[in-house]
């Protein structure tokens, strides 16, 4: 996925090396960037929205961070060991780390964060914690996690946004949601919270006592809140803003902005999330309940066209349920190419009678609206009678939660491992009315359940790979959902902002290593 | 002097009529000249006008033929304009006639009801209605009709109030005609000319309203209308001017033509009132 444009900052894990190859980093300066939309709160773990992760990833830290290849890198944990049976994980914490209020960070904070704080507040951490038998601090700087059975993706779940380290001395024994420190988050990260002027700007300042020598280089980061997309583009053009995180301007504006002088673009920094666009297909009723119909939809769609025209050629057309960034991808499967002839054959074979079906676009802006138009046209060309229904975000959530749809657009994060981000879409015990994020399509297949569950706890990785390859074959044949695209989420920035994206979660924790060449 | 001759005396009206006929021809010929759906992605995106045969107005963000969209859009715009105006007349004329003819408490009740609609800003109400009913051709036509009938009711009421005590109405009453007959056969025909003039202007307003709704993304997502074309082109206006320019010109010309025709009709239907030209 590497693009030449990203070369300058692609060194990822080895931030220091790449910086040394270029010039010596300069200290000082403040970076102005955008946060869109305004986050509802800044305490990670309590609030999980994407904008919170983006801002607070610089205030808080996790035990590990991840390279753009999703290899774990040291953060608060200096080193770690996994026992041979895959059940015991020992983390050795860095010494001399202090919270922003001066207290020491110790193993007790880790136990409190994982065992108490996240167990109570954080559903994504809870999903991982159900595999954990005990968490113990064996001394001030060593923490041991003992699992009930091996859980392959365990090492991938320590990212700051999922397993945030929160200070025990401020939260223990309090009502977490009403804690007075929620308005002034205290973390261990390279930047400290300074000021939040609602609707205008969130200001972070350099943490002078940061434990990594010489870091951060910047004096601060200001996250501006500008509600209108066109105004955000203008603010970048007139150099008020140095960094445009992905999703802050319309796709159609990106080529124009990227062509400006002194503007660089990178697609890196979303490997951990790997946003995957899908077409929900209602497996319960109507023509979409027929496997052949769903396959016909896959053949009818011109996904390369959508990629080139709507997403400016960024991103990747997936083979099947596992994206190219996911582990254990089975690349022997036959791709669903754009093949209207084959689609028509399948529709004839099932005896599709022209029953009208509806399509719900994702109400997230122009690109998604255009995309729904393109898919509708693709489907009409093979003879599927499809009508678009426009909704707002609330209506979209509700219709999907109530299973009141035929086809609907969405995109989901993959979180690096199939057990964290992929299986949730296909497991039958994840069917529950009311949420647009679970097994919304209503796909039930015992063998698939078996394989996914076995693979999540199989050990070692070769075992998992075998199981996951089989599950992909079944899914590829059944097409429970349409696999549209692995989205390319480009970050635009002034080229003199160096070392911006150095990890697989991108600008969420990137300002730690960034410096200004001005 | 014949009706048409009086109409044609107003040069502007004649020009308006010609433009309007051209647009109607566009709407009718659209399926013949461009039998394929205007949604079909047929060429490279962002082709400028006249750069390729068969695409005189270029292609849009997804490679759809702008000329085809413009012609199919004419049909949508005219249809919405005419139907919603008819619906508005169906609501406004009876209400105004009853209020004006009977007067008194009936008039009070109906006029307060009308004012209730008049005090809410038109466009805001239309947005709310379409959002509640889900965007579709039917909901858009209804919403436009619901926000545009009050002026009709007001006009018809005023006409009825001035006509109801005329001698020919008294005479009709004396020979024992029922109220319904008097309203329908005696007074209503005499109020037709101002209604026709108003209606022609309402068609223009309805086209503008529909365009504004589509521009905001509240159009029927299954039909290609001019407002939709401009709305979709808004984000790329700096890269591709032609995407919003041509539908914009089409809306301008249609609305202008309808206004000119309305004025001409006014002159032709009320020869005594018409200004010297």
Residue ranges and CATH numbers for the domains of chain A are: 24-57+188-269+489-517 (3.40.190.10), 59-169 (3.90.76.10), 273-485 (3.10.105.10)
Evaluate if residue A10 carries a pLDDT over 70. no
| Sheet architecture: strand order including A491-494 | A191-197, A201-206, A220-224, A30-34, A243-244, A491-494, A263-266
Residue contact B238–A256, C-beta within 8 A: yes
Residue of A nearest to B44 (CA): A309
* Test the B interface: residue of A366, A379, A404, A405 with most B CBs within 10 Å: A366
Q: What is the average pLDDT across A395-421?
A: 87
d(C-alpha A99, C-alpha A106), whole Å? 10
Q: Mean pLDDT, to the nearest integer, of A215-226?
A: 90
Burial of A437 (0-12, 13-18, 19+ CB in 10 A): middle
With beta carbons under 8 A apart, name residues in chain B contacting A391: 134
Q: Which of A57, A27, A29 is nearest to A44 (CA)?
A: A57
Contact by Cβ (8 Å): B61, B230:
no
- Determine if the peptide bond prior to A216 is cis (ω within 30°): yes
Task: Please list, in sequence order, all residues whose beta carbon lies within 8 angstroms of the beta carbon of residue A498, skipping any fewer than 6 positions away.
Answer: A8, A9, A19, A22, A25, A514, A515, A516, A517
Q: Do A387 and B222 touch (CB under 8 A)?
A: yes
Return the residue of B nearest to A229 by Cα: B235
A 10 A CB-CB count for A226 gives 22
pLDDT at A2: 38
Helices (H), B62-187: 66-102, 104-119, 122-133, 137-163, 167-174, 179-181
CA distance B76 to A318: 38
Q: Which residue of B has its CA nearest to A368?
A: B232
* Structure confidence at residue A3 (pLDDT): 41
Across the range A216-225, mean pLDDT stands at: 90
Q: Is B134 in Cβ contact with A390 (below 8 Å)? A: yes
Mean pLDDT on A433-462: 87
Q: What is the pLDDT of residues B255-268, one digit of tens each?
A: 999 999 998 988 88
Chain B partners within 8 Å of A377 (Cβ): 37, 39-41
* Element of type H or E holding A451: helix A446-457
CB pairs under 8 A between A and B: 53
Contacts B62 to A, Cβ<8 Å: 309-310, 370, 373-374
H or E element, residue A146: strand A142-147
The answer to whether the Cβ–Cβ distance between A372 and B221 falls below 8 Å is: yes
The answer to whether B72 touches B257, Cβ cutoff 8 Å, is: no
Which chain B residue's Cα is nearest to A255? B239
Chain A residues whose CB is inside 8 A of the B41 CB are 305, 309, 374, 377
Strand residues in A94-141 grouped as ranges (E): 132-139
pLDDT more than 90, % of chain B? 61
> Phi and psi (nearest 5°) for A295?
-65, -40
Task: Calculate mean pLDDT across residues A272-284.
Answer: 91
Q: Which of A13-17, A127-131, A359-363, A474-478 has the lowest mean pLDDT?
A: A13-17
Asked if A469 and A449 count as a contact pair (C-beta separation under 8 A), the reply is: no
Q: What is the 3-state secondary structure (H, E, C) of A250-307?
A: CHHHHHHHHCCCCEEEECCCCCCCCCEEEEEECCCCCHHHCHHHHHHHHHHCCHHHHH
Q: Do B62 and A389 touch (CB under 8 A)?
A: no
Which helix H or strand E contains A243, and what residues bound it? strand A243-244
pLDDT at residue A21, as a whole number: 47
Q: Which residue from A84, A39, A8, A56 is spatially nearest to A460, judged by alpha carbons?
A: A84
CA A247/CA A262 separation, integer angstroms = 20
Look at B61 and A376 and tell me if their CB atoms are within 8 Å. Answer: no
- Write out chain B residues lying below 8 Å of A229, CB-based: 235
Show residues of chain B in contact with A366, CB under 8 Å.
232, 235
CB-CB neighbors (< 8 A) of A372 in chain B: 221
Question: 3-class DSSP state for residue A31?
Answer: strand
Cβ-defined contact of B41 to A381 (cutoff 8 Å): no
The partner residue sitting opposite B62, judged by closest CB among A370, A387, A389, is A370
How do residues B101-119 score in pLDDT, each as one tens digit? 999 999 999 999 999 999 9
pLDDT of residue A451: 93
Distance, in Å, from the CA atom of A65 to the CA atom of A71, rounded to the nearest integer, reads 8
Find out whether the peptide bond into A513 is cis, omega within 30 degrees of 0: no
Verify whether the Cβ–Cβ distance B41 to A370 is below 8 Å. Answer: no
Q: A396 burial class (0-12, 13-18, 19+ CB within 10 angstroms)? A: buried
Region A380-392: mean pLDDT is 90
Best mutation site among B36, B42, B62 for testing chain A: the one with the most A CBs within 10 Å? Answer: B62
Structure confidence at residue B23 as a pLDDT band (50, 70, 90):
very high
- Please give the C-alpha separations between residue B187 and each of A445, B96, B128, B266, in angstroms, as whole numbers: 73, 12, 36, 19
pLDDT at A23: 61
Instruction: Find the range with the poorest average confidence among A283-292, A385-394, A404-413.
Output: A385-394
Cα-based angle B259, B260, B262 (whole degrees, multiple of 5): 65
Cα–Cα distance, A319 to A272 (Å, whole number): 19
Report pLDDT for A114.
87
Give the pLDDT score at A20.
Answer: 43
Residue-wise burial string across A320-347, b where 16 or more C-beta atoms lie within 10 A, e elsewhere:
bbbbebbbbbbeebeebebbbebbbebb
pLDDT score recorded for residue A506 = 77
Compare CB distances from B235 to A250, A372, A390 and report the shortest one's residue: A250
The rounded mean pLDDT for chain A is: 85
**In this model, does residue A17 exceed pLDDT 80?**
no
Domains belonging to chain B, first-starting first, are 76-271 (1.10.3720.10)
Calculate what percentage of chain A has a pLDDT beyond 70: 95
Say which residues have a Cβ less than 8 Å from residue B167's Cβ, sequence separation at least 6. none
pLDDT value at A118 more than 90: no
Q: Which residues of B touch A237 (CB under 8 A)?
A: none
Inter-chain residue contact B235 with A253, CB threshold 8 Å: yes
3-state helix, strand, coil in chain A (%, to 5): 35, 20, 45
Which of A76, A81, A79 is closest to A114 using CA atoms?
A: A76
Angle CA A263–B63–A383, to nearest 5: 130
Q: How far is A173 from chain B (nearest CA, A)?
A: 47
pLDDT of res. B5: 85
Query: Looking at CA atoms only, how far is residue B147 from chain A in angstroms?
Result: 22
pLDDT tens per residue, range A51-61: 888 888 899 99
Mean pLDDT of B224-230: 91
Longest dimension (CA), chain A: 71
Q: What is the average pLDDT across A14-36?
A: 68
Cis peptide before B73 (omega within 30 of 0): no
B273 pLDDT band, cuts 50/70/90, is low
- Taking only the tens place, the pLDDT of each residue in A302-345 is 999 999 888 888 888 999 999 887 788 888 899 999 999 999 99
CB contact under 8 Å between B134 and A391, yes or no, is yes
User: pLDDT per residue over A340-357, tens digit each?
Assistant: 999 999 999 999 998 999
> Whole-angstrom Cα distance, residue A277 to residue A317?
10
Q: Report whether pLDDT(B100) > 90.
A: yes
Give the span between the Cα atoms of A493 and A516, in whole angstroms.
Answer: 11
Look at residue B15 in the predicted model and tell me its pLDDT.
Answer: 94
Whether residues B217 and A390 touch (CB distance < 8 A) is answered with yes
**For residues B41-56, average pLDDT:** 85
Q: Is pLDDT above 50 for A9?
A: no
Phi and psi (nearest 5°) for A444?
Answer: -130, 120
Over residues A193-208, the pLDDT tens digits come to 999 998 899 999 999 8
How many C-beta neighbours within 10 Å does residue A413 have?
Answer: 16
């Amino acid at each position: 996925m590497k693009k030449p444009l990203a070369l300058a900052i692609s060194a990822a894990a080895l931030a220091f090396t790449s910086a040394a190859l270029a010039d010596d980093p300069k200290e000082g300066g403040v970076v102005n960037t955008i946060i869109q939309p305004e986050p509802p709160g800044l305490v990670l773990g309590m609030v999980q929205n994407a904008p919170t992760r983006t801002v607070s990833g610089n205030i808080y830290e996790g035990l590990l961070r991840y390279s753009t290849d999703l290899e774990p890198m040291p953060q608060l944990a200096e080193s770690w060991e996994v026992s041979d049976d895959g059940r015991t994980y020992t983390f050795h914490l860095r010494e001399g780390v202090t919270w922003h209020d001066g207290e020491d960070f110790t193993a007790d904070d880790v136990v409190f964060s994982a065992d108490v704080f996240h167990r109570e507040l954080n559903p994504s951490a809870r999903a991982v914690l159900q595999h954990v038998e005990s968490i113990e601090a064996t001394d001030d700087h060593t923490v041991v996690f003992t699992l009930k059975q091996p859980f392959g993706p365990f090492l991938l779940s320590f990212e700051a946004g999922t397993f945030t380290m929160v200070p025990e001395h401020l939260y223990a024994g309090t009502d977490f949601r009403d804690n007075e420190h929620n308005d002034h988050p205290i973390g261990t990260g390279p930047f400290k919270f300074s000021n939040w002027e609602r609707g205008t700007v969130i200001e972070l300042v350099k943490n002078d006592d940061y434990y990594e020598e010489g870091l951060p280089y910047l004096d601060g980061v200001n996250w501006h809140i500008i509600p209108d997309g066109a105004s955000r583009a203008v603010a970048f053009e007139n150099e008020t803003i140095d960094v445009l995180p992905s999703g802050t301007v319309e796709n159609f504006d990106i080529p124009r902005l990227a062509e400006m002088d002194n503007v660089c673009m990178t697609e890196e920094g979303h490997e951990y999330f790997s946003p995957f666009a899908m077409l929900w297909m209602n497996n319960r009723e109507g023509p979409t309940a027929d496997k052949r119909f769903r396959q016909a939809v896959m053949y009818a769609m011109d996904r390369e066209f959508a990629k080139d025209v709507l997403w400016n050629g960024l991103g990747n057309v997936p083979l099947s349920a596992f994206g190219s960034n996911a582990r254990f991808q089975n690349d022997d499967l036959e791709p669903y190419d754009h093949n209207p002839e084959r689609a028509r054959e399948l529709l004839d074979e099932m005896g599709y009678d022209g029953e009208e079906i509806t399509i719900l676009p994702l109400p997230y802006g122009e690109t998604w609206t255009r995309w729904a138009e393109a898919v509708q046209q693709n489907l009409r060309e093979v003879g599927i009678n499809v009508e678009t229904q426009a909704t707002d975000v609330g209506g979209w959530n509700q219709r999907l939660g109530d299973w009141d749809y035929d086809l609907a657009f969405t995109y989901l994060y993959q979180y690096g491992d199939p057990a964290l981000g992929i299986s949730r879409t296909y497991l039958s015990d994840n069917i529950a009315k009311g949420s647009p994020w679970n097994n919304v399509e209503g796909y039930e297949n015992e063998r698939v359940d078996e394989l996914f569950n076995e693979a999540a706890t199989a050990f070692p990785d070769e075992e998992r790979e075998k199981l996951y390859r089989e599950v992909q074959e079944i899914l590829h044949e059944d097409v429970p959902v349409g696999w549209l695209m692995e989205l390319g989420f480009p970050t635009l920035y002034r080229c003199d902002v160096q070392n911006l994206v150095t990890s697989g979660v991108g600008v969420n924790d990137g300002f730690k290593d960034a410096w200004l060449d001005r | 002097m014949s009706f048409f001759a009086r109409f044609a005396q107003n040069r502007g009206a004649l020009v308006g009529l010609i433009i309007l006929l051209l647009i109607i021809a566009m709407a009718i010929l659209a399926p013949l000249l461009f039998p394929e759906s205007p949604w079909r992605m047929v060429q490279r995106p962002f082709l400028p006008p006249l750069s390729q045969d068969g695409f005189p107005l270029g292609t849009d963000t997804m490679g759809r033929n702008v000329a085809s969209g413009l012609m199919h859009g004419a049909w949508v715009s005219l249809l919405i304009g005419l139907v919603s105006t008819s619906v508005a007349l169906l609501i406004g004329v009876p209400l105004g006639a009853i209020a004006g003819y009977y007067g008194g408490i009936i008039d009070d009740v109906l006029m307060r009801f009308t004012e209730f609609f008049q005090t809410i800003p038109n466009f805001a109400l239309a947005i709310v209605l379409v959002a509640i009913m889900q965007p579709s051709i039917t909901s858009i036509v209804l919403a436009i009709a619901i926000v545009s009938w009050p002026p009709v009711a007001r006009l018809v009421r005023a006409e009825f109030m001035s006509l109801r005590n005329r001698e020919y109405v008294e005479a009709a009453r004396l020979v024992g005609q029922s109220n319904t007959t008097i309203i329908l056969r005696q007074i209503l025909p005499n109020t037709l000319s101002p209604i026709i003039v108003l209606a022609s202007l309402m068609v223009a307003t309805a086209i503008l309203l529909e365009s504004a709704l589509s521009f905001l993304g509240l159009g029927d997502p299954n039909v290609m209308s001019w407002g939709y074309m401009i709305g979709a082109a808004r984000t790329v206006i700096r890269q591709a001017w032609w995407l919003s320019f041509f539908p914009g010109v089409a809306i301008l010309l249609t609305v202008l033509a309808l206004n000119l025709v309305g004025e001409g009709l006014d002159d032709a239907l009320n020869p005594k009132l018409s200004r010297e030209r």
